Structure 1
Amino acid sequence: MITRLTLVNFKAFPRLELPLGPLTLLTGLNSSGKSSVLQALALLRQSFENARSTGAVAGLLLNGELVELGTARDVLHDDFGPADDLLDSDAPVVGLVIEAGESIRFVALYDSEEPDEDVMQASVSSELPQFLDTPFQYLHADRITPAVTYPRSRQVAIDRGFLGVRGEHTVNYLRHFAEREVPDGPLRHPDAPSPQLLDQTVAWMQELCPGVNLQASAVEGTDFVRLSYGFGGTAGINATRRRRPTNVGFGLTYALPIVVACLSATPESLILLENPEAHLHPKGQSRMAALISAAAATGAQMVVETHSDHVLNGVRLAVKRGALQPDDAVIHFFRGNGSGAEVITPRVDKDGMLAQWPEGFFDEWENSLDQLLD
């Protein structure tokens, strides 16, 4: 498990040292650097997977399957500073340091004569850390939308077990692994008829929309799979009629990759999630936080960017109820300070309360209420 991530001259940060836990929430203002944390982890995975598969010289691959960061000019912090602790060089460097049992330094040189290259020559201080080989998911905020069909790729969904950065391979993954059992423990929903993945997915999806059920099937003779919804007679909808995603709305389809990623988590997994609350009502956001907390409690490492106080409170409730230990929930609040970004880390106690509540940290409800009562 990664316990600390250090960024040097990377995007918004001249230097940032960020503790990580089994469940890390990244919160705060827009464009304050939250996404850079996820991108840094994904960048390392993308770069060294590429080096292994192609035999290329190790370097930071800025544009690939997981992230598209542009060029070296885009990645180097505008006011880059010295990094003598990483590399004795007069040239500007971008540094990414992972603490995962040991300290692994990834140092990339910025070539001022080739600022628009999208590969940066890099060195690694020792053997590659284990997290580069563990099960991995990264789901962007821009996820799949309701569609008639989704891609069927054996290599991505089945051989690699990867859902795609937009979750576009989720339906095929769910179709193929429908009977795989979710291990007994926090992730297994008690109301599901069986421990199989499809039944467990339906049970958790019913936390978001009571009565919903799913079917994932191949479209014969094509490279596509189809997803359909049923509603068990709820809300006046005919229980026997299947509904295509385009007639259901964004929320369920947008949430499905998050649910499947969590239920597929193993104790070695690293899962990066952007805005899991998107298109969900408040109760659904809270239940999504419960699912994410359950995945962390099984041993997976979850790093989650969120703008939702319901997700925050769902994690706090998980701590209060003993589903998650206080030290296992790490919360970082990013905010601008006029010259860049600063990070404040409120500590969670065993009752789910926060040791501090910084200004601007999910306080807009109180601010609006004060104005209404004024």
Structure 2
Amino acid sequence: MIDQLSLTNFKAFRSADIPLAPVTLLTGLNSSGKSTVLQAFALLRQSYDSFTLFSTDGDSEQGGFLLNGDLVELGTGQDLLHEDFVRSPGLPTPLTSIGFRTEDGQGRAWSALYAPEQDVLPLQSTSDLTHEDSLFGRCFQYLKADRIVPATSYPRSHHQAIGRAFLGARGEHTVNYLRHHAQHPMPDGPLRHPEAAAHTFLDHVVAWMQELCPGVNLEASEIPGIDSVRLSYGFDGTAGIDSSSRRRPTNVGFGLTYALPIVVACLSAGPGSLVLLENPEAHLHPRGQSRTAALVAAAAAAGAQLIVETHSDHVLNGLRLAVKNGVIPASDTAVHYFRRRGLRAEIVTPRIHDDGSLSDWPTGFFDEWENSLEQLLD
């Protein structure tokens, strides 16, 4: 479990130490620094997967931060460096640093020299890498805000969906992952849905999807002869291809397909997993948004760590209800509200109490409903 992220000269942050919990919500106005937190982790993982997160002293092919890849596309060094940067003592150029601390007190940190026109920033200092870190292990998911949309077919990559158990940054391998794992037994624990028809992974995916759209069921199958898979929906409440007349995703509401990677990522997250989610509430009805937070809390109760960027007060309230209902303890949550102060990002951290209440409610923190209601009643 990662309990703190540290950033220096990285996009919105001149310098910041950000506490993390089993469930961390990142909230705030647009361009306030929320996405930067997820991008920092994604940048480290992307560099690790590309074998550049190392340094070969004196070698012209030295490692570095790979700014553009499958997970994130951050541009060049001048796009990454904070505008009000801190100069590094003894160095002609500033350093961009990313580090994190695990719950056992172990720290990892990487610093790269500023190179304004380069998209691989040369490393100045590194830490040892280990698969025991959730960020670099097999149980890692990062789902960006622009996820898969309804389509007639999806890619069938054995390496990604089965070999790496990775859903893809856009969730593009979700359908193939679901096809492969559909009949696998769902482990006992908080992620098991009480209304699931049976104990397979697919049955529990269906049960949680019904929290978003009552009565929906789905099927993932291969398309013979080509390297693609097919997703279909039905609406009689049970899993399986014979359960109802099947419908293509293109003939079903946009939100179901958009939410499917979120559901699968949470249900497949076990102890030691790290799941990064951008805007899980996108295209969902408020009830679905709240139930998504319940699923996130259940995944954390099963031993995963989830860091969630959200603009939804329904997601916040869903997490508060999960605390009040005893799904996870309040101490396993963190809520950060990001706001801008000139060139710098400022972080305010209200605490969730055991009864689901919040320690404080900063100005601008999900207060638009009250502001609008006040104007309506004026």
Shorter-chain TM-score bucket reads over 0.9
Q: Which residue of 2 aligns with 1:35?
A: 35
Q: Tell me how far apart the structure 2 counterparts of residues 53 and 355 of structure 1 sit (CA, whole Å).
A: 40
Q: Deviations over 1:36-63 (max 9, x none)?
A: 0000001001101211799974310101
Letter of the aligned partner of 2:256 in structure 1?
L
Q: Deviations over 1:239-276 (max 9, x none)?
A: 73111000102110000000000000011111000000
Q: Tell me how far apart the structure 1 counterparts of residues 139 and 342 of structure 2 sit (CA, whole Å).
A: 39
Q: Tell me how far apart the structure 1 counterparts of residues 329 and 237 of structure 2 sit (CA, whole Å).
A: 39
Contact map agreement 2:53 2:64 (CA 8 A) in 1: no
In structure 2, the CA distance between the partners of 1:338 and 1:78, relative to structure 1 (3 Å rule), is closer
Q: Which residue of 2 aligns with 1:136?
A: 140
Measured after TM superposition, the shift of residue 110 of structure 1 is: 1.1
1:364 maps onto 2:354 in alignment:
no
RMSD: 1.8
Map 1:155-170 to 2 at 5 A: 155-170=159-174
> 5+ residue gaps in structure 2?
none
Contact map agreement 1:134 1:268 (CA 8 A) in 2: no
Q: Which residue of 2 aligns with 1:150?
A: 154
Q: Tell me how far apart the structure 2 counterparts of residues 123 and 175 of structure 1 sit (CA, whole Å).
A: 44
Q: Tell me how far apart the structure 2 counterparts of residues 121 and 52 of structure 1 sit (CA, whole Å).
A: 9
Q: Tell me how far apart the structure 2 counterparts of residues 348 and 332 of structure 1 sit (CA, whole Å).
A: 11
Map 1:221-240 to 2 at 5 A: 221-232=225-236, 240=244
TM-score by length of 2: 0.93
Map 1:317-328 to 2 at 5 A: 317-328=321-332
Letter of the aligned partner of 2:317 in structure 1?
N
Letter of the aligned partner of 1:97 in structure 2?
G
User: Which stretches of structure 1, 4 residues or longer, exceed 6 Å deviation after superposition?
Assistant: 52-56
Contact map agreement 2:52 2:65 (CA 8 A) in 1: no
Deviates more, 1:358-367 or 1:101-110: 101-110
Q: Which residue of 2 aligns with 1:189?
A: 193
Contact map agreement 1:104 1:124 (CA 8 A) in 2: no
Q: What secondary structure is seen at the aligned counterpart in 1 of 2:25? A: strand
Aligned residues: 365
Q: Which residue of 2 aligns with 1:98?
A: 100
Q: Tell me how far apart the structure 2 counterparts of residues 253 and 134 of structure 1 sit (CA, whole Å).
A: 24
In structure 2, the CA distance between the partners of 1:248 and 1:163, relative to structure 1 (3 Å rule), is same
Contact map agreement 2:112 2:125 (CA 8 A) in 1: no
Q: Tell me how far apart the structure 2 counterparts of residues 346 and 362 of structure 1 sit (CA, whole Å).
A: 12
Measured after TM superposition, the shift of residue 123 of structure 1 is: 4.2
Contact map agreement 1:83 1:93 (CA 8 A) in 2: yes
Q: What secondary structure is seen at the aligned counterpart in 1 of 2:51? A: helix
Q: What secondary structure is seen at the aligned counterpart in 2 of 1:51? A: coil
Measured after TM superposition, the shift of residue 124 of structure 1 is: 4.2
Contact map agreement 1:22 1:300 (CA 8 A) in 2: yes
Q: Tell me how far apart the structure 1 counterparts of residues 185 and 40 of structure 2 sit (CA, whole Å).
A: 32
Q: Tell me how far apart the structure 2 counterparts of residues 18 and 373 of structure 1 sit (CA, whole Å).
A: 39
Contact map agreement 1:144 1:168 (CA 8 A) in 2: yes
TM-score by length of 1: 0.94
Q: What secondary structure is seen at the aligned counterpart in 1 of 2:191? A: coil
> 5+ residue gaps in structure 1?
none
Q: Which residue of 2 aligns with 1:71?
A: 76
Q: Which residue of 2 aligns with 1:202?
A: 206
Q: Tell me how far apart the structure 2 counterparts of residues 60 and 306 of structure 1 sit (CA, whole Å).
A: 26
In structure 2, the CA distance between the partners of 1:123 and 1:187, relative to structure 1 (3 Å rule), is farther
Contact map agreement 1:182 1:264 (CA 8 A) in 2: no
Contact map agreement 1:135 1:268 (CA 8 A) in 2: yes
